[in-house]
Structure 1
Amino acid sequence: MAEIKNNEILPSWNPSDVERIKEQSDYLRGSLQQSLADIATGSIAADDTQLIKFHGSYQQTDRDLDADRKKQKLEPLYSFMIRVRIPGGVASAQQWLAFDSLSNTYGNNTLKLTTRQAFQFHGVIKRNLKKIMQGINDVLLDSIAACGDVNRNVMCTTNESLSPLVPAAYQMAKDISNHLLPRTTAYHEIWLNQKLLVDGKRDEEPIYGKTYLPRKFKIAIAIPPYNDTDIFSNDIGLIAIGKNDQLEGFNISVGGGLGMTFTEPGTYPRLGDIIGFVPYDNTLEVVEEVVKLQRDYGNRENRKKARLKYTIDRLGPESFKELLEKRLGYKLEDSRPYKFESNGDVFGWKQSSSGKWFLGLFVEHGRVRDEENYQLKSGLRKIASLGKSDFRLTGNQGLVIGGIRDEDKAEIESILKEYKIWPKYKLSGARKHAIACVALNTCTMAFAEAERYLPSLMDKIEVILDENGLTDDDILIRMTGCPNGCGRPYLGEIGFVGRSPGKYNMYLGAGFSGDRLNTLYRETLSEDEILKELKVLLARYAKERNKGERFGDFVSRVGIVGYQSGIKEIK
């Protein structure tokens, strides 16, 4: 029977099994304590694999070894990925050093910088989960709500050399993150051994309710002309609007999301719709009401159709906006003019209006590790040990070493040169902007390689680029091992989505500033077939493009792929 709430008739669902797990979990506790204490297995109970996501972790296996272990009648080699909730991706030198140490002690000796400006630890075994969670807490951070059916890490442009609006925008990212944080005390009880519940008092979730959201929820802030957080791919995107270096508020977009499922009809990537302008002081209220609308109207029956984008398309964008304004008790203002020019990172030294320096660094696919001729992890550790900078993750798996005083710049630059980190060997424009998700060997959803494979594919693509005089041209290339969209492949001018080992669907034609999706061009291509297609496409681009024309615009204009419409504004 449909529920009536706020004088609204809410939809009725036949809840999925995950809804049952949340309902019975006692606010995300489940049997996690018992699972962690069970030394007979490296895994946790099936229901707990859903609940642990809310605590910032995924259970994984080493898929390279699964078949051999099965033959040996051994259980899979289980481990856990842990993601840190860190709004805007800004970490102090102390936090960086702590994460470096934790990754060596409990992880696989690497740090992963994600496309949501978060840190990930990989290869953590069950008996070390509490230790690493406590280590994160020791430097005043946590992993709660980094995964799960809640608002996840809030993204924000945080390179202060790019705009005087960064500090105020970053503060809003932190405010949103704190405001939408789950109120359950389960995290502190399970991981930090704290008993916070007063006798007779139980947890409550004033924003989320007992079963939280139907699916994950993502929010990002961008400051024009830089769309380096790809805001239109988020459930809520906030475009910073300033006047005289003061942040007045945000144009708000709703309903973005890139995940789809090959075998599920009616799933698709979608860009957010702009629904108006929100003054700075009203932003938290508007964001909360959008979240609550998704809580009340989102699909709790089919998780593959449970994101906000499907809720909006089911209700209709105009009706969704009307519902929002009804709950707010006022109408949103008309959106204000803005212009995005790119959604990539800015590299090299830049000075902010405060006089401090910021260095944008390329980190291939966000993997911080030491290699024979590229001691990235050791060099960054040495810089962090100086305590003269902070570390700012980007939405493109890059890193900004920030907040550097003029007198400290030379010392930091000498360390970068000593460890062969910067200036790095010449990078093509395409490699600088390439993104790959983790995929195999640890992601349970991957059909094909991505992070481990794209660098070698880029070596071969760069030969074609060089042959056509395109080495310095910025071209957005994105690769994922499955269609779920973690590496934002549908916003690549060239996108590769894994179908099976060694086979990829190829997409073309996204907008360079993240305001237009690409289009499926070819299916299930091998590497040889990918390179054959790119030889023709890039040669045509070099010869036939208009002056200043981006690759994605070119392939759409000449009809190589159909033209996808961009973002919409809902009046």
Structure 2
Amino acid sequence: MTTTNDDKVSKIEIIKRQSRHLRGTIKEALQDSEAKFSEENVQVLKFHGVYQQDDRDLRAQLKREGKERHYSMMIRARIPGGLLSSEQYLVFDRLADEYTDYKTMRITTRQTLQLHGILKGDLKTTIKTLNDALVTTLGACGDSGRNTICCAEPGDEPFREEMRHDVLALADRLSAKTNAYHEIWIDGEPVQLAEDETEEPLYGEVYLPRKFKVAIVPEGDNCLDVYDNDIGLVAHIRDGHIEGYTVLVGGGMGRMALDQDTYPRLASPLCYVARNEAVGTILDACVAIVTIERDFGDRSNRRFARMKYLIDKRGLAWFRDEVEARLGHKLEPPRQLTWTNGNDHLGWHRERDGVSYLGLFVPYGRIKDTETMQLKSALRDIMHRFRPTVRFTSQQNVILSGLPDEQRSAVEEVLRSSGVPLPQELSNVQQNMMACVSLPTCGLALAESERALPELVPQFERLFDVLGLSDENITIRMTGCSNGCARPYNANIAFIGRAPGKYDIFLGGSALGTALNERFRDTVPFKDLVSAVRPVLESFIQDREPGEDFGTYWLRTGAGGHRG
């Protein structure tokens, strides 16, 4: 296992090692009167699912008044596969009303919920309340296994329960085991280990070099962009059961706009592992992969600490040899993969005989009430009256499952009376858009995203209508910076913040999530984004081959000379 040398590692590596398995001085800091935590504790808190933020809309005014920034915390839960009971969902709903500045909940691309604007003094109560509802925040952030995600579609096929079983097993095996979480947030009592026990048997003192993401999908349905993960598991189904998984490694969306040595990467096929393999399980293979990143990942420069850089530096053949050495046997070659769908599971669908599920579109992942649409109140009412199971999707939407068919009209009435449209009432443009949180809470944001993308919706709807593209599945994503939190780099059209009001435009990609896009224009003003893309879409209409989608057209033609 990797050990650290203070002369060769980043500052955060030193903070992790000195944190005493993620304790830091968080417990003591919760007792003081400060509105914020120290920088050391801020880094450790991420492992506990907490980010310290401030309201950037207020920064200038508070500075003029000689006041401190308005600090608050974002809490992110760890919800494997995005599944909650209606009772657990209602706990989040209540906490959002009682303790957050914004009275909203945010669905993330990793199938979980974030609560923004929690004051430091309310942090412990909020986390303990979630734990009382059997929801943890440990490992939702930080340099360890993040929330393990899975295709959220319900159904009565056996493979869906098998995927759920594997998601929970992976989440448990790859989660941090430190007792610090309970000592700080739950009961306050330290846990004494036996002499032969290790508090973190997988991660040791320094955990991983960077965050680590795992995703599971059935072959054919890439609803969560499986190639964007450090480990992607593609389930091969035979007779309704999972026969085994093709394992993908080395995906990741993050890059730095001004550092050309950083880049997004799609995961590479590594091997095939039978689900009930006699010489080892898929869990064993995933643990072996994680330990390679633990032992060889870059700990000196966090820009290059993700596993994708390790694989490109050492080579996939080297990586495969390392996995085989740790497993003690040869790996089977990966299987050829076929994809037919990349859309979210929106609308009404059969779940089992007499029972349906509703995939409900959540604009930009934000569950809130506005003057025209009371989505938060409608979902609360549905939880109380119909008690569905809640499944968050990786495209920031929500699935309400387990609804008897005779309740469908009543559920629709609740939504309509609250101004919430059903998916079939929305344009393809709306359904295929996604944004990161960005301003005012994200400290990395350079430009607007969640608050800006709605302004582009009607513009693109009009343009698509004029061009005859309204029935096309063209994905459009926006982020406030280049870090890639809304998975922009495999979208057909992506707007990536470079400065206030200015964006880089990337084009190409794939609606199936199987190809990266390319930079098209730099630092385009917000008001010019749609007009900048229009000539390419016009060329697409004129020059496309029969049945050709936008991403394939871009790769084939360079958009008629528009590239570059």
Q: Which moved more, 1:552-561 or 1:265-274?
A: 552-561
How far, CA to CA, are the matches of 2:533 and 2:303 in structure 1? Answer: 32
**1:437 aligned onto 2:432:** no
Tell me, yes or no, if structure 1 residue 154 matches structure 2 residue 148.
yes
1:392-426 Cα deviation digits (max 9, x unpaired): 10000011111212333333232222223242683
SS in 2 for 1:53: helix
Tell me the equivalent position of 2:227.
232
Alignment correspondent of 2:66: 73
**What root-mean-square deviation, in Å, do the aligned CA atoms of Structure 1 and Structure 2 show?**
2.1
Identity %, equivalent residues: 39
Displacement of 1:353: 4.0
Aligned partners of 1:221 and 1:238 also within 8 Å: yes
Spell out the pairing of 1:338-357 with structure 2 (5 A cutoff): 338-353=337-352, 355-357=354-356
The alpha-carbon deviation at position 334 of structure 1 amounts to 2.4
Q: 2:75 aligns with which of 79, 82, 86?
A: 82
Query: How much does 1:265 deviate?
Result: 3.9
| Shift in alpha-carbon separation, 1:375–1:162, aligned structure 2, 3 A | farther
Residue 395 (structure 2) pairs with residue 396 (structure 1) = yes
Match of 1:58 in 2: 51
Q: Which shifted more, 418-427 or 278-287?
A: 418-427
Q: Give me the whole-angstrom Cα distance separating, in 1, the residues matched to 2:385 and 2:552.
A: 45
- In the other structure, the counterpart of 2:559 is 560
Superposition pairs of residues 141-540 of structure 1, within 5 angstroms:
141-161=135-155, 164-198=158-192, 204-281=199-276, 282-353=281-352, 355-423=354-422, 426-540=425-539
Q: Please say if 1:106 is aligned against 2:106.
A: no
Encode CA deviations 1:366-413: one digit per residue, 9 max, x unaligned. Answer: 000011221110110011012531111000001111121233333323
* Change in CA separation of 1:342 and 1:13 when aligned onto 2, cut-off 3 Å: farther
- CA drift of 1:534 comes to 2.0
- 1:133 counterpart residue number: 127
**How many residues are treated as equivalent by the alignment?**
557
CA contact (8 A) 2:361 2:422 kept: no
The alpha carbon displacement at 1:200 in A equals 7.0
Q: Distance in 1 between matches of 2:490 and 2:115?
A: 26
Which digits, 9 at most, give the CA deviation of each residue in 1:230-280, with x for residues without a partner? 111000000011100011121000000010112334111011110111122
- Describe the superposition over 1:460-514 as per-residue Cα deviations: whole angstroms up to 9, x where unpaired: 1221111112122211111110111110010110011100011000001102211
| Range that drifts further, 540-549 or 480-489 | 540-549
8 A contact 1:342–1:514 mirrored in 2: no
Q: Aligned equivalents of 1:358 and 1:424: distance in 2?
A: 13
Q: 1:161 to 1:470 in 2, by over 3 A?
A: farther
What residue identity is the alignment partner of 2:69?
P
Do the aligned residues in 2 keep the contact of 1:27 with 1:203 (CA within 8 Å)?
A: no
- Secondary structure of 2:122's counterpart equals helix
Letter of the 2:103 counterpart:
N
Supply the distance in 2 between the matched residues of 1:199 and 1:149 (Cα, whole angstroms). 24
Q: Which amino acid aligns with 1:220?
A: A
Q: Structure 2 CA distance, aligned partners of 1:563 and 1:171?
A: 47
CA 1:421–1:161: 2 relative to 1, 3 Å: farther
Q: Which amino acid aligns with 1:191?
A: W
CA deviation string 1:517-570 (max 9, x = no partner) = 000011000123322222212222223222222111112222228999xxxxxx
- Secondary structure at 2:264's aligned position in 1? coil
CA distance in 2, matches of 1:345, 1:132: 31
Deviations 1:407-457 (A, max 9, x none): 333332322222232426832212201110001111011100100100111
Paired amino acid for 1:104: D
Conserved in 2, the CA contact under 8 Å of 1:250 and 1:278?
A: yes
Q: Is the 8 A contact 2:447 2:481 kept in 1?
A: yes
Distance 1:257 1:162, change over 3 A: farther
Q: Is the 8 A contact 1:478 1:496 kept in 2?
A: yes
Of residues 40, 44, 51, the one that matches 2:37 is 44
Instruction: Tell me the distance in 2 between the aligned counterparts of 1:417 and 1:457.
Output: 25
Report the 3-state secondary structure (helix = DSSP H, G, I; strand = E; otherwise coil) of the residue aligned with 2:559.
coil
**Conserved? CA contact 2:351–2:401, under 8 Å:** no
2:425 alignment partner, SS class? coil
SS at structure 2 position matched to 1:560: helix
Q: 1:568 is matched with which residue?
A: none
**TM-score (normalised: structure 2):** 0.95
Distance of aligned partners of 1:331 and 1:13 in 2 relative to their CA distance in 1, 3 Å threshold: farther
Give the direction of change, closer, same or farther, for the CA distance of 1:367–1:144 in structure 2 (3 Å limit): same
Secondary structure class of the residue paired with 1:207: coil
1:478 maps to a residue whose letter is R
Say whether the 8 Å CA contact 1:158–1:170 is kept in structure 2.
no
Distance change >3 Å, CA 538–CA 163, structure 1 → 2:
farther
CA distance in 1, matches of 2:560, 2:288: 38
Matched residue type, 2:255: M
The residue type paired with residue 273 of structure 1 is S
SS in 1 for 2:303: helix
TM-score, length-scaled by structure 1: 0.94
Deviation at 1:352, TM superposition (A): 2.4
SS of alignment partner, residue 146 of structure 1: coil
What CA distance in whole angstroms lies between the structure 2 residues aligned with 1:513 and 1:286?
26
Q: How big is the shift at 1:34?
A: 2.0
- How many angstroms apart in 2 are the aligned matches of 1:42 and 1:203? 34
Q: Which one is further off, 233-242 or 257-266?
A: 257-266
Match for 1:123 among 96, 117, 127? 117
Report the Cα distance in structure 2 between the residues aligned to 1:561 and 1:307, rounded to whole angstroms: 35
8 A Cα contact 1:359 1:402, kept in partner:
yes
Distance in 2 between residues matched to 1:4 and 1:74, nearest whole Å:
44
Range moving further from structure 2, 376-385 or 470-479: 470-479
For residue 199 of structure 1, report the CA deviation from its aligned partner: 7.2
Which residue of the partner structure matches residue 567 of structure 1? none
Structure 2 counterpart of 1:365, which letter? Y
| Superposition deviation, residue 12 in structure 1 | 11
Corresponding letter in the other structure for 2:503: Y
Q: Which runs of 5+ in 1 are unaligned?
A: 565-571
Report the more deviating stretch, 468-477 or 47-56: 468-477
